């Protein structure tokens, strides 16, 4: 734990202008990002009397080893830069809102030639329109119902290609839940019009479609076409079922997001109702640890930054009104920022009376219940994880708490395609962003102990290189462009330095030979503050370096359960990588050895000519008709195929495991 006085900048060096500052730990990782109207006043508050700081702030300044700042031109720029850095570095002492569950969206891929309706989660894609979020059950029922009236394609790209090739639609086409553009029942333009109607209905224009169908039903009755009238009647009932599922809670011209918050000293729960056209179209929830000493206005500011800043496609997603329990800090700058994202004015206010205030009360009740449920679930989880880490530390007689554990496993088949995996656990939870894969070749691939020695040597050699890089000193960084991650500045940015943070404990899958190999690798690198153990599969005993007898943990020990889970995760990760590598090695193509012909251009050749036989029969000038194939590359393809020999004429690609003849 560092002394704040050791890296405190001189008061006169700190400007009095607005800016954004970052605290870093001894490994160069950004642990806190903040902004200030007056940098000198704000930064001096951290160092003037560290003992008087609140507990979380005290822990932050003692965990840091340097501080740096960037001067900006206005408070709006500081708001934008702070959000950018929080999103990039994910500092451990900043409030980060994470969903208490993942909510699906109903998405229409209008950017495709034949738009597709599907249920989607995760990052948003360009050219796709989103509606929601919804609960999983409700969204699939809604989609199934609407496809009856708006038969938009909902199949995957693979199913679409098979239908186009065979000339027969899939099942949805036969039961009239798809207009089957794949076989020409409708033109692409007609199908796009159906997709536009689907989006219009989901956007709140349900009334005009119901009225249009009612007129069509009346016309069918007048023509005595009762079968068609009955179908239209059922379509109207389906639309009304979807439309009436969400009760009208506000006036029909109201588009608003209503946020409410419930918190205690340690955590805060946030809920939001998305109201569109006066109806509640979706709901989301977050639970966040209050790792920084933030007031409610500051929490709301961070919340709005992260909710609306997470996507670039914000037009139509940010409503006209944002209703909050308290006006956020930097209110005017936040309004300007959100207005720029939306492309129109945004109003942030606190409802005082009426229907909006009543709805906010409902949202607040949801937030309170969500926090209670979260604490009930989390209490048991934290207790078990803490018990496991403590038991493991005591059983292995380690002097340091096990904040970070790394586990390594080797995978191969009779010495071929040797790979290794590294999985990471921090505070008893997996940190998948830090997982790594290793390919092992040469002498290191001869046996498991040599492979383990090679992997540990490579991993910790990178760590020493990152550690020896010049870490930032306290001071000013004036140009935000200088902070862009680069390979030359990996240790400073923390985004490219893959091995900059060392573990407290290394776990290897195996017994005494593997443990000794790992310990030897660390000793050769001069690392003496990382402890090594091995978990042998046969009796689940724990081996220490240079020990004649293993440590036997009780079968009911939470520490043993933790080691087993880490070992199994490393094994899974290694097996997955090994299968990928083995699969690539077992697929052989006559085009693989062509210099300069990568996977994309190889696929372009096959797509253009249809088979390897036709490619071999083509001249160099004919090959240039394929996308991305120039004259020089075409000559290389002709030369390579001609040199393959007459015995390989028209030789297809073969999967050596199954014997399957592939396209290329």
Is 428 within 8 Å of 385 (Cβ atoms)?
yes
Name which of 98, 81, 522 is nearest 268 in CA terms: 98
Q: Which of the pair, 174 or 497, is modelled with greater confidence?
A: 174
Q: Quote the CA–CA distance of 241 and 249 in Å, as a whole number.
A: 17
Looking at 168-182, 217-231, 396-410, 571-585, which range is the least confident one?
571-585
pLDDT confidence of residue 393: 87
pLDDT confidence of residue 226: 84
Cβ within 8 Å of residue 558, ≥6 positions away: 384, 387, 388, 391
Q: Are strands 321-323 and 347-349 parallel, antiparallel or unpaired?
A: parallel
pLDDT confidence of residue 243: 65
- Six-digit token pair at 214? 């009612």
Whole-number CA gyration radius for the chain: 31
Q: Is 437 helix (H, G, I), strand (E, B) or coil?
A: strand
Q: Is the pLDDT of residue 59 over 90?
A: no
- How does pLDDT run across 361-411, given as a tens digit for each residue? 888 888 888 888 777 766 667 777 888 888 888 888 888 888 889 999 888
Looking at 124-128, 280-284, 385-389, which range is the least confident one?
280-284
Average pLDDT, the chain: 80
Q: Quote the CA–CA distance of 592 and 567 in Å, as a whole number.
A: 37
pLDDT confidence of residue 53: 78
CA 467 to chain centre: 28
Cβ within 8 Å of residue 210, ≥6 positions away: 236, 239, 240, 243
The percentage of the chain sitting over the pLDDT mark of 70, rounded to a whole number, equals: 83
Name which of 600, 543, 145, 557 is nearest 565 in CA terms: 557
The vertex-204 CA angle with 202 and 206, nearest 5°, equals 85
- How does pLDDT run across 10-22, given as a tens digit for each residue? 888 888 888 899 9
pLDDT confidence of residue 502: 84
DSSP string, 485-515: --GGGHHHHSSS-TT-S--SEEEEESSHHHH
Is 81 within 8 Å of 482 (Cβ atoms)?
no
- 117-120 sheet: strands from edge to edge: 117-120, 105-108, 129-131
Q: Is the pLDDT of residue 332 over 80?
A: yes
Looking at 102-111, 176-185, 493-502, 611-620, which range is the least confident one?
493-502
Q: Quote the CA–CA distance of 652 and 484 in Å, as a whole number.
A: 46
Q: Is 244 helix (H, G, I), strand (E, B) or coil?
A: coil
Q: Quote the CA–CA distance of 66 and 502 in Å, as a whole number.
A: 19
Per the DSSP assignment, residues forming a β-bridge with 589 are none
DSSP string, 329-351: SSHHHHHHHHHHHHTS--EEE--
Q: Quote the CA–CA distance of 126 and 319 in Å, as a whole number.
A: 20
The 8-class DSSP code of residue 661 comes to B
Name which of 493, 535, 494, 512 is nearest 405 in CA terms: 535
The vertex-341 CA angle with 340 and 343, nearest 5°, equals 60
- 347-349 sheet: strands from edge to edge: 98-99, 279-289, 267-276, 256-263, 321-323, 347-349
The vertex-447 CA angle with 441 and 449, nearest 5°, equals 105
- Helix/strand number for the chain, H first, E second: 20, 22
pLDDT confidence of residue 323: 92
- Give the dihedral of Cα atoms 277, 283, 287, 292; nearest 10 deg: -10
The vertex-639 CA angle with 637 and 641, nearest 5°, equals 65
For 551-571, the three-class secondary structure string (H helix, E strand, C coil) is ECCCCCCHHHHHHHHHHHHHH
Is 411 within 8 Å of 400 (Cβ atoms)?
no
pLDDT confidence of residue 312: 47
For 124-149, the three-class secondary structure string (H helix, E strand, C coil) is CCCCCEEECCCCHHHHHHHHHHHHHH
Q: What kind and span of H or E run contains 30?
A: strand 30-36
Looking at 104-118, 297-311, 588-602, which range is the least confident one?
588-602
Q: At what angle do helices 188-202 and 206-222 cross, to 10 degrees?
A: 120
pLDDT confidence of residue 479: 55
Name which of 262, 296, 282, 258 is nearest 372 in CA terms: 262
- From first CA to last CA, the distance across the chain in angstroms is 59
**Mean pLDDT score, 31-43:** 88
Q: Is 191 helix (H, G, I), strand (E, B) or coil?
A: helix
Q: Is the pLDDT of residue 259 over 90?
A: yes
Q: What kind and span of H or E run contains 210?
A: helix 206-222
Q: Which of the pair, 508 or 470, is modelled with greater confidence?
A: 508
């Amino acid at each position: 734990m560092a002394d704040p006085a050791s890296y405190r900048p001189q008061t006169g060096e700190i400007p009095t202008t607005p800016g954004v500052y970052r605290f870093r730990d001894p490994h160069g990782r950004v642990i806190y990002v903040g902004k200030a109207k007056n940098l000198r006043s704000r930064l001096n508050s951290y160092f003037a009397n560290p003992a008087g700081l609140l507990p979380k702030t005290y822990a932050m300044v003692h965990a840091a080893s340097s501080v740096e700042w960037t001067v900006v031109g206005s408070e709006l720029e500081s708001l934008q830069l702070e959000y950018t850095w929080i999103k990039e570095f994910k500092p451990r002492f900043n409030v980060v809102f994470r969903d208490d569950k993942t909510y699906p969206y109903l998405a229409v891929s209008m950017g495709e030639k034949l738009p597709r309706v599907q249920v989607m989660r995760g990052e948003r894609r360009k050219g796709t329109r989103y509606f929601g979020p919804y609960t999983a059950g409700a969204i699939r029922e809604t989609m199934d119902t609407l496809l009856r009236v708006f038969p938009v394609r909902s199949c995957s790209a693979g199913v679409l290609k098979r239908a186009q090739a065979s000339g027969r639609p899939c099942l949805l086409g036969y039961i009239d839940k798809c207009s089957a553009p794949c076989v020409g029942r409708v033109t692409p333009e007609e199908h796009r019009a159906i997709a536009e109607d689907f989006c219009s209905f989901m956007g709140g224009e349900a009334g005009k479609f119901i009225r249009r169908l009612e007129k069509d039903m009346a016309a069918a009755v007048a023509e005595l076409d009762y079968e068609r009238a009955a179908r239209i009647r059922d379509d109207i009932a389906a639309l009304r079922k979807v439309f009436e599922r969400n009760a009208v809670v506000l006036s029909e011209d109201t588009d608003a997001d209503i946020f409410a918050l419930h918190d205690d000293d340690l955590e805060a729960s946030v809920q939001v109702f998305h109201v569109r056209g006066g109806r509640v179209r979706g709901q989301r929830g977050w639970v966040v640890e209050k790792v920084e000493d933030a007031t409610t206005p500051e929490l709301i500011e961070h919340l709005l930054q992260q909710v609306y800043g997470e996507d670039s496609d914000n037009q139509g997603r940010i409503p006209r009104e944002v209703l909050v329990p308290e006006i956020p800090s930097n209110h005017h700058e936040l309004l300007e920022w959100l207005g720029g994202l939306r492309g129109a004015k945004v109003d942030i206010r606190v409802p005082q009376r009426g229907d909006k205030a009543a709805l906010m009360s409902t949202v607040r009740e949801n937030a309170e219940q969500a926090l209670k449920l979260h604490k009930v679930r989390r209490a048991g989880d934290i207790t078990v994880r803490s018990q496991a880490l403590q038991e493991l530390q005591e059983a292995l007689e380690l002097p340091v708490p096990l904040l970070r554990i790394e586990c390594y496993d080797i995978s191969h088949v009779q010495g071929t395609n040797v790979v290794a995996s590294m999985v990471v656990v921090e505070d008893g939870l997996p940190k998948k962003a830090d997982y790594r894969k290793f390919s092992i070749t040469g002498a290191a691939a001869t046996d498991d102990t040599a492979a383990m020695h090679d992997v540990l040597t490579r991993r910790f050699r990178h760590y020493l290189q990152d550690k020896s890089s010049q870490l930032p000193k306290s001071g000013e960084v004036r140009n935000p462009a200088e902070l862009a991650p680069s390979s030359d500045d990996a240790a400073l940015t923390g985004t490219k330095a893959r091995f900059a943070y060392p573990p407290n404990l290394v776990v290897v899958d195996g017994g005494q030979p593997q443990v000794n190999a790992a310990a030897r690798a660390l000793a050769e690198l001069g690392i003496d503050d990382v402890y090594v153990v091995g978990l042998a599969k046969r009796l689940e005993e724990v081996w220490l370096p240079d020990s004649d007898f293993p440590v036997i943990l009780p079968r009911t020990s939470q520490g043993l359960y933790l080691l087993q889970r880490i070992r199994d995760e490393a094994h899974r990760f290694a097996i997955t990588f090994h299968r990928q590598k083995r699969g690539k090695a077992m697929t052989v193509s006559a085009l693989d050895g062509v210099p300069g012909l990568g996977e994309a251009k190889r696929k372009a050749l096959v797509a253009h000519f249809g088979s390897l036989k036709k490619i071999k029969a083509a001249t160099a000038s004919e090959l240039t008709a394929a996308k991305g194939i120039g004259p020089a590359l075409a000559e290389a393809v002709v030369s390579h195929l001609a040199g393959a020999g007459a015995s390989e004429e028209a030789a297809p690609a073969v999967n050596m495991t199954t014997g399957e003849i592939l396209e290329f």
